[in-house]
Structures are given as C-alpha cells and as structure tokens.
Amino acid sequence: MPEASRSDPKIRCRGLWKLFGTAAEAACAKRAPDTSVEQAIDGTDAIIGARDVNIDIARGELFVIMGLSGSGKSTVLRCIAQLHRPSSGDVWLDDANLAAMPESSLMDIRRHRMGMVFQNFGLVPHFTALQNIAFPLKVRGEAAADCAAKAAEMLSLVGLDGRGDAYPSELSGGQQQRVGIARSLAVDPEVWLLDEPFSALDPLIRKQLQDELLALQARLRKTIIFVTHDFSEAVRLADRIAIMRDGRIIQQGRAAELLMRPADDYVSRFVGDVSRLQVLRLGDVMQPATTGSAGAPALPATTSLEDMLMTTGSDVTAITVVDADGQPVGTANRQNILDNIRNPQPAPSASQQGSAG
C-alpha cells in the first residue's frame, strides 16, 4: 500500500482492553491513572477478551485479524464497531475517538460510515432480500423510493438480480451472505467490517466469494477489517495480517513477513501449511542492490516466486528485480530462493508486535 497513507491511518486502536465479568470491569474502570489494567484486574476472575491491542489500519487497506476460536479476534472487531464498549483504550476513526463517544453519535457513525457482515449472515428472517438490504437506509430515514433503488443496485452488485423478493429461508447460504454483503455496503460505508463472513459456507462457495470480495475491493477501495480463523483465507485476501492468541496480538505484518520471520512457534505452525511459492514475492527474497546482474532477466518485485518459476527458463540462475518504474532494486539467485522456500527459520528476536512491513 502507499507509504503516505501509513502515516495517516484510517483506524487506530491504542491500548485496547476488553474484559468480561462485572467485577473485573469495575476494577478496570476504577483503577488509579498510573496503574496498568494488568495490575488492576489482578486477583479478579476476569475473562480477557482483548489484551492491550494496538493496530493501525491504513485507508483502503484490507486488514485481516486471524486467530482460533476464543483468541479474541471477534472481540477486537466488536470493540472497533463499539458493539462491545472497550474496558480501556481508544479506538480512533480518523480523528474521532469512538470509545469515548455517546451511543447517539455512534448511531450516526454506523448509519453513514460503517458496514458489517456477520458470520451467520444476520439476515432478518421476516424481511425479503431487498428489505434486508434497504434496512440500514430505511432506519436512517431515506425515502422509500431511494431505498428501493439503492437496494436494487446493491442486489445486482452482488449478482442476485431477480431474487430480491425471496426471504432468507429461501436462499442458499452463499446467496444469503451475498445479501449480507449488499446490506453492509448499502450505506456506502468508509469502513467495512467482516466477521468470519465465509466460515459458514462450503469450500467452493467460499473461494468464489473470496474472489468476488477481492474484485469488489479493487473497485471500491474500502478500509476493511476481516476476521477469520482460516490462515489460507487470510493469506489470500490480506494486505496485512494480525495473528491473535489469548486476546493478544502476537504478530502483525504482510503474509510474507509472517512466513519468513514468524514471531514464535505458534505462528510458524500456522504458516507451515501455506504454499511459500505463492505467497513470497521476489521483493521478499531479493538481495537489495542498485544494479542488476548482467544478463539476468528483469522481473518486477511483486512477482510471486511461483510465477517467476513458470515464466523463466530452467537455465536461469539469477534475476534482476525491478520496481514499478523498471529501475533495478535488487537481485535474486537460486540460493536466495531456496533458502526462503525451505522451512521457516524461527527467529523470535527478529520480529515483534507492531513490526509493520
């Protein structure tokens, strides 16, 4: 993503904690200014949903939060949406702190700037597909004709023309989630939150919807937070991934970074199953250099290793890596590539939370 936008994130979470249990919440809320949440809840039987989470998400970025069930990934998403009010910490949307906002202002933000897709689709059973899509428009008081027109447009955006009068119970799972997607996009939100949107679907449908999501994102350039428990889904979709365990973010960065420098064994176990040839790009494995190797073919840094192997002949031993303008930025040889597609080298010291790529 463009470097410029990194300095001006769309969403920033700072020191975000979410505790469940009234005693723990009270202890956290009443703590003295100089005590950490950790100290304050010591001794209470708090269930910790999110533990000191710090995330920056750039405008137009597709950010994936990945973790197993109970890791706190949905909790973080809900804290950003303010469906759960954080126990401590801030959630900034541009320059507004959602965590400090009254419910009435949040309502306004949700009506205009946020859309959310739910794991079990969250379709209202007594509404038709079109009524479901129009619902967020209707509650914010748009005229019935505008609602209908916009809903029809959204329906065709997700490829469900002609099914608008069907009730959710008459649609397949994939179709239901398309309606869910259409509804979340109906208000043309800036921030798009997706909570395991494809987990309840068959593998084939899931892949199809992933492709459509990428196509939609290429057109719409929303700021997306996507929650999943499926690492390969995360790799397929994400600009950047955050891996969570026990409410904590263990590592965040581009897929290639997680692959090459997993923060610990937990992360390396996830990345072990992923095809490194598909994920790693020339830019990830090259030796930085200002001049290319003589006689070596030139390829862009964004080329995946797989594509590189498919397009170059077997006699090629070195490659000049060039940037978008064709200027050489480094070189890659057979040894660089082999080093990187072998098993990951655990290097706990090499990366830590916040090591952004």
Binding site for other proteins (CB under 8 A): 78, 81, 83, 107-112, 114-116, 118-120, 122, 124-126, 128, 135-136, 138-140, 165-167, 169-170, 183-184, 193
Q: Minimum Å distance from CB 81 to other proteins?
A: 6
Q: Facing residues of 195 across strands?
A: 227
Report the C-alpha gap between 138 and 182 in whole angstroms. Answer: 14
The residue among 85 and 229 lying less far from other proteins, judged by its C-beta, is 85
Q: Please say whether the dihedral angle defined by the alpha carbons of residues 259, 260, 262 and 263, taken in this order, is positive or negative.
A: negative
Smallest gap from residue 159 Cβ to other proteins (A): 18
How many CB atoms lie under 10 A from the CB of residue 294?
Answer: 7
Strand partners, 249: 244
Cβ proximity to other proteins: between 1 and 106 the closer is: 106
Q: How far is the CB of 183 from other proteins (least distance, A)?
A: 8
DSSP conformation class of 292:
P
CB of 145 to other proteins, least distance (A): 18
- Count how many residues are written for the chain: 357
Q: Is 12 left (phi over 0), alpha (psi -120 to 50) or beta?
A: beta
Q: Closer to other proteins by CB, 187 or 263: give it.
A: 187
- Closer CB to other proteins, residue 112 or residue 334? 112
Say if CB 250 and CB 270 are below 8 A apart: no
Compute the half-sphere exposure of residue 263: CA atoms within 13 Å on the CB side of its CA: 20
CB of 231 to other proteins, least distance (A): 24
Our CB check for other proteins shows the closer of 30 and 126 to be: 126
Nearer to other proteins, 142 or 212 (CB): 142
Bridge partners for 6 per DSSP: none
Q: Output the smallest distance, CB 150 to other proteins, in A.
A: 14
Cβ proximity of 221 and 261 under 8 Å? no
